[in-house]
């Protein structure tokens, strides 16, 4: 007798939250955001401001999408990943965000 194994798509679309350092000063924040946006535009699209928005990108292994926000004056950027390839650990995404923001 065969048993069905239910492998849902929830794992691929599990929400995860990343918190990374982000400039609290409005001018510095805008400058970092603009430089990071130029780098990220090569891989997808975003809608928003330095304080909040949404993003969606594709790669050979799947889609990456979510929302980001940071309260004015806060020194933390919160990124809620709503869609990612199941094979990519959230820790890898966090390291990549930190790298991009450090380069920006």
Domains held by the chain: number: 1
Calculated CA dihedral for residues 83, 38, 72, 56, nearest 10 degrees: -20
Helix (H, G, I), strand (E, B) or coil at 77: strand
Tell me, what DSSP letter sits at residue 53?
E
For the sheet containing 16-21, what is the strand order? 16-21, 76-83, 62-69, 52-59, 44-48
Whether 68 is in a domain gets the answer yes
pLDDT at 7: 40
Cα–Cα dist 20/1, whole Å: 50
The mean pLDDT values, 10 residues at a time, for the chain of 104 residues are 40 76 94 89 91 92 94 94 94 92 83
User: What CATH number does the domain containing 80 carry?
Assistant: 3.30.310.200
Whether 5 is in a domain gets the answer no
Helix (H, G, I), strand (E, B) or coil at 42: coil
């Amino acid at each position: 007798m065969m048993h069905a194994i239910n492998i849902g798509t929830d794992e691929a679309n599990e929400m995860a939250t990343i918190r990374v350092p982000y400039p609290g000063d409005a001018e510095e924040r805008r400058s970092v955001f603009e430089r990071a946006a130029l780098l990220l535009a090569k891989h997808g699209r975003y809608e928003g401001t330095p304080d909040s928005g949404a993003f969606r990108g594709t790669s050979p292994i799947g889609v990456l999408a979510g929302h980001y926000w940071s309260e004015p004056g806060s020194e933390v950027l919160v990124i809620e990943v709503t869609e990612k390839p199941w094979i990519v650990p959230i820790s890898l995404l966090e390291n990549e965000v930190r790298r991009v923001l450090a380069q920006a």
